Amino acid sequence: MMSGPAANCVSPSGFIRCLAAMEGLACRLLLCLGCALAAPELLNEEVKRTVDLSTHLAKVTAELSLANPAGGSGGASSFLLALDPGLESRLAYLGVQVKGEEEEENTLEVRETKVKGKSGKFFTVKLPSPLVPGAKIRLSIETVFTHVLQPYPTHITQAEKQFVVFEGNHYFYSPYPTKTQTTRVKLASRNVENYTKLGNPTRSEDMIEYGPFKDIPPYSQDILKVHYENNNPFLTITSMIRVIEVSHWGNIAVEETVDLKHTGAVLKGPFSRYDYQRQPDSGISSVKSFKTILPAAAQDVYYRDEIGNISTSHLLILDDSVEMEIRPRFPLFGGWKTHYIIGYNLPSYEYLYNLGDQYALKMRFIDHVFDEQVADSLTVKIILPEGAKNIHVDSPYEINRATDELHYTYLDTFGRPVIVAHKNNLVEQHIQDIVVHYTFNKILMLQEPLLVVGAFYILFFTVIFYVRLDFSITKDPAAEARMKVACITEQVLTLVNKRLGLYRHFDEAVNKYKQSRDISTLNSGKKTLETEHKALTNEVASLQSKLKTEGSDMCDKVSEIQKLDSQVKELVLKSSVEAERLVAGKLKKDTYIENEKLHSNKRQELVTKIDNILDAL
């Protein structure tokens, strides 16, 4: 039984895939073979090489005229590029561009390759069009190397200046012969201890010029060494974690955790703050502050470390960016380190694009931290909204994708997908955009609001259910009896107040009778009083019997209220009888007023006693 690739070729579709794979492999082999064959046929007619050592980076730029000599075997669609063996391990960036007559630049595709019988790093550069025999093309090759400037001496005091040594190649290292070449070395200062003297170089200020060299064979090497003063900040980002959290509610949160180290000459001896502030040239190679460039839309910027917020920073808002001056808590000397966190928010509409359920996030893989930056290690984490699927990343250069993770935050259920990518040895040329494509169902945006509504609903329902639960182990008869007595007493109070209100209504009927002398008005009021008073009194008596059954002493007080009420009723009826006699002319007005005053006083005393008993209840 067949297994592996052989088994996959049995089916028709598998056979077709195998043919396609073999064809692609054959094409790559032919390309590499073509490059190897074409290499000796090309010629570097003129090379102008510039080695910029004015910072802590080594930037080597070579402008060359690449020719395909007449009488060649054919056109060259690509050419081979080699790196100097002494510097290849420190390569951070390599870019090749075509230089036109009007200074128009066209970036070419560069891929790493191998050359049979040769060690080291080689790259295949694809030309925009085949270079036919007799034709030539002008190219610009830019390379950036990190950590190639070695401090010498390696340890200096606070008052000493920093000197570094660079070792390179006098010649343009190439698999092709070079007809003529010049090399210019740009330094950081005029103070040069020594340098190699190949070909009687000329020196002016901070520039050393070598050449021109004629007819240089392929893979030529000759050590170029310069020992000079360089007090530029040798800042290095030893580790950086950049977290980008995307929200479809209009915000993108960015946070960068940075570990910095001064990789220059190590400070020897003590540090004097007094000398550092008094003498301008004290600690000249140290780093007091540096500027970080943030996007123009950055807001809510913060800068802190483990201790807390660092208030020595300054923020300047410009038209096209936000400039932040970062000043560590202490100046950085050689070998010293610092750690800080910087974060800010961005509006998502400037970086997030969508068409239906298709989304594309376009942001920088690394942003500007300081001028001439070097990042030894970078980890980028892009946190997408919960529910994002079909994730695809387009990067302008090679990055190392790690396994995707899940991130949980407020109101998340199954986690937000996190893209994790790593890259080492980055410089400013790597400040480019990456694009993250993904799909997202917009219905999922209702998930968080619905979760909030549901949470409050459950909370309110739980509270309502809880307050209605009785967690007592045994019942308390005394408490239940008190509750019943209180309920009965409340009903007695209501009935007694209604009964006192009947008397007031009857007094109004008597007054109307005295004015209208209509006996029917008086009789109607008296009949209503008798009927309703009897009903209320019977209800009070019923409640009194219930209080007696419960064994409450309130029963006696209710009984007293009943007695007092009967006296009040008697006085009210007497007043109505005397009113009849007054209207009939059987009682003088003065006598009626005097008797009415006497009845009113007695009635008021009785009502006061009833009110006092009611208050006691």
Q: pLDDT tens across 248-281, in order?
A: 999 999 999 999 999 999 999 999 888 888 888 8
Average pLDDT over residues 11-40: 42
32: confidence class by pLDDT, cuts 50, 70, 90:
very low
Question: Within 10 A of 374 (CB to CB), how many other CB atoms are there?
Answer: 23
Beta bridge partners of 344: 254
Q: Is the pLDDT of residue 550 over 90?
A: no
Q: Give the model's pLDDT for residue 102.
A: 58
At residue 393 the predicted structure's pLDDT band, cuts being 50, 70 and 90, is very high
What is the average pLDDT across 421-431?
Answer: 96
pTM of the model: 0.69
CB 335 within 8 A of CB 266: yes
182 φ/ψ angles, rounded to the nearest 5 degrees: -125, 150
pLDDT for 204-224, tens place per residue?
989 999 989 999 999 999 999
Average of per-residue pLDDT across 451-480? 83
Question: What's the maximum distance between 2 C-alpha atoms anywhere in the chain?
Answer: 158
Question: Does residue 358 contact residue 439 with C-beta atoms inside 8 Å?
Answer: yes
Q: Does the structure show a pLDDT above 80 at 10? A: no
How far is the C-alpha of 342 from the C-alpha of 325, rounded, in Å?
12
The tens digit of pLDDT for each residue in 156-176 reads 999 999 999 999 999 999 999
Bridge-based pairing of strands 235-247 and 375-383 is: parallel
What is the average per-residue pLDDT within 474-494?
A: 80
Which residue type sits at 27?
Answer: C
Grouping H, G, I as helix, E, B as strand and the rest as coil, residue 337 is: strand
Residues whose CB is less than 8 angstroms from the CB of residue 395 and which lie 6 or more positions away in sequence, other chains included = 365, 421, 434
> What integer best gives the mean pLDDT of the chain?
87
Sorting pLDDT into bands at 50, 70 and 90, what band is 500? confident
Q: For residue 25, what pLDDT is reported?
A: 45
Specify the pLDDT at position 35: 41
| pLDDT of res. 13 | 40
Mean pLDDT of 67-89: 88
Q: Is residue 349 a contact partner of residue 250, using CB atoms and an 8 Å limit?
A: yes
Contact assessment for residue 384 and residue 416, using Cβ atoms and an 8 Å cutoff: yes
Name 526's Cβ contacts closer than 8 Å, sequence gap at least 6: 506, 509, 573, 576
| Structure tokens, 156 | 């200096």
Q: pLDDT class for 34, splitting at 50, 70, 90? A: very low
- DSSP H or E segment with residue 611: helix 589-616
Single-letter code of the amino acid located at 142: E
Report the alpha-carbon distance of residue 405 to residue 420 in Å, rounded: 7
Instruction: Decide if pLDDT at 474 tops 70.
Output: no
For 79-104, how does the pLDDT look when each residue is reduced to its tens digit (9 = 90+)? 999 999 999 999 999 999 998 765 55
Choice among 30-39, 421-430, 459-468, 608-617 with the minimum mean pLDDT: 30-39
Residues composing the chain: 617
pLDDT at site 101: 62
d(CA 95, CA 429): 9
pLDDT digits (tens, 9 = 90+) for 584-609: 888 888 888 888 888 888 888 888 88
Which residue shows structure tokens 């309920």?
Answer: 487
pLDDT band at 105 (very low <50, low <70, confident <90, very high): low
The confidence score (pLDDT) of residue 290 equals 93
The secondary structure of the chain in percent helix, strand, coil, rounded to multiples of 5, reads 35, 35, 30
pLDDT over threshold 50, residue 457: yes
Distance CA(324)–CA(331), nearest Å, equals 17
pLDDT at 256: 96
Task: Tell me the Cα Rg of the chain.
Answer: 50
Residue 385: is its pLDDT beyond 80? yes
Element spanning 68, H or E: none
Please name the residue that has the structure tokens 């010498």: 152
Place 15 in a pLDDT band, splitting at 50, 70 and 90: very low
What is the per-residue pLDDT for 16? 36
Residue with more model confidence, 19 or 445: 445
- Across the range 483-502, mean pLDDT stands at 86
